Copies of this chain bind each other. A is one copy, B any other.
C-alpha cells in the first residue's frame, strides 16, 4: 500500500532534514532509496519532488553541498549547515507536536510497540 500523495504533502522537508540530521551526508538518489527502504515502500519520494526541495533548502542556507565523482558519474552530497541543524530540530519538534494533535483530533488508537 502506497499512501495517497496528498497525505505526504508538506512532510518532505521534514523527512529530508531529519535524515540529514542522522546521517552526516547524503545524496539525492540515496535519500529516495533510504526512505523507500525504511517505510517498506509505503513512501516513495519522486525525484521531481526531491531535487527542487533540496535546491530550495540549499538556497535557504540550510544545506551545503559537495560534489564527488564515482568514476565519471557525478554525485552531489548534501549536509546540514549550522542553521540547518537548528531548523531540523525545529521541524521535527513541530511535526511531533502536530502528530500528537492529530492523534487527539482524529481519536486515533496508537500501537504501543
Count this chain's copies in the assembly: 2
The A contact surface, by secondary structure, is helix
A 65-97 to B, binary, CB cutoff 8 A, 1 in contact else 0? 000000000000000000000000000101111
Q: Do A98 and B3 have beta carbons less than 8 Å apart?
A: yes
Closest to A26 in B: B112
Q: Does A105 contact B (CB under 8 A)?
A: yes
Q: Is the pair A38, B95 in contact by a Cβ cutoff of 8 Å? A: no
Across-interface contacts of A10 in B (CB, < 8 A): 5-10
Q: Which residues of B contact A107 (CB under 8 A)?
A: 18, 22
| Chain A contact residues, CB within 8 Å of chain B | 1, 3-11, 13-15, 18, 22-24, 35, 38-39, 42-43, 92, 94-112
